[in-house]
Amino acid sequence: MIPHVPPMNKPLKMAVFVSGSGTNLQAIIDSQIKGVEIALVFSNNPGAYALKRARSHGIPVRSLSHRDFPSRVAYDREVLAVVEPFGVGLVVLAGYMRILSPMIIRAYRYRIMNLHPALLPSFPGTNSIKRAMEYGVKVTGCTVHFVDEGMDTGPIIIQSVVRIREDDTLESLTERVHGEEHRILPEAIRLFAEGRLRIEGRRVKVLL
């Protein structure tokens, strides 16, 4: 299966979902990926600094607090209503701290990417960098993957390894992992926009 590829000489419109400061959003903006337009930045946190970053670059923003909705399904139904008018072909979860309901996953099947701060399938879920360090692994890193209905279980697009040093603190390790996140997330988006990702079962092949 080949993910959605934008028509020739038309940009790939992308929605970036965020919850916090938006450093990965800034990395995407700074990368200026050819053939990609950030059509929308969406957040479940109306106070997220990422929204300020987007506004400063003239990018449309929308926010809905999940606390205002009675259920995940009700919230995600409204999220879809917000996103669909922008005509996006790719949704990127860049520090979006909510699990998507199957409703959104079905609407954008193999067109949702997530960035995770560990080498999946190790350490899915939250606090992954801290958990990796406490477990005593010698390497950790970060992963960009397509989103499916599981918890960080979708087909892996790209990963980067970060070695854990003897003198690392949680802060120093986190800084290096984030540095790799800022590198591989724009790269995964670029490969998608170029139509170079082919999904075969659990494997994502990068076409030359």
Catalytic residue positions?
A: 116
**Rg of the chain (C-alpha set):** 17
Q: How far apart are CA 109 and CA 102, in angstroms?
A: 10
User: What are the angstrom distances between the C-alpha of 66 and each of 19, 96, 162, 185?
Assistant: 11, 12, 34, 26
Task: Answer for the pair 129, 84: CB distance below 8 angstroms, yes or no.
Answer: no
DSSP code of residue 84: G
Q: How far apart are CA 6 and CA 35, in angstroms?
A: 9
| Residues ≥6 apart with Cβ < 8 Å to 63 | 42, 43, 44, 45, 46, 48, 51
Question: What are the two backbone dihedrals, phi and then psi, of residue 144, each rounded to the nearest 5 degrees?
Answer: -110, 130
Question: What are the two backbone dihedrals, phi and then psi, of residue 172, each rounded to the nearest 5 degrees?
Answer: -70, -40
Q: How far apart are CA 82 and CA 198, in angstroms?
A: 29
Closest to 157 in 3D by CA, of 118, 127, 199, 99: 199
